[in-house]
Structure 1
């Protein structure tokens, strides 16, 4: 990922120095995720795939939903 990308933490993560947070950054057409305790390990996905994951996690039945 580009060094100029800005990583952001959720406001639910507590203070800025909290070590157990998921961080997110975006570049052209790609979403990057990492664990703050392991910042050199990164997962990359598309916005549509991440949206599908979030919909699935939020689903009361827990069933997979298709990306749109």
Structure 2
């Protein structure tokens, strides 16, 4: 079975878009660089990814 990688619809298109792609894996999520898909991906748990996204959204990871 082929892994389906998805890029955010907010990422735009073309060579100027810097983004990551996500894939649903067995009980986890794969994350990779969309410009270098041939390089290996990292795997994170779903709960960990949800916490990271919450922190990004609320700005708690922004430099102070």
Does TM-score exceed 0.5, indicating one fold?
yes
Deviation, 1:43, is 1.2
Deviation, 1:41, is 2.8
Q: How many residues align?
A: 59
1:12-56 Cα offsets, whole Å, 9 max, x none, are 1112x4452210001110100001122123111010000011111
Match of 1:42 in 2: 41
CA distance in 2: counterparts of 1:48 and 1:29, whole angstroms: 10
Normalised by the length of structure 1, the TM-score is 0.72
CA distance in 2: counterparts of 1:28 and 1:48, whole angstroms: 14
Match of 2:30 in 1: 32
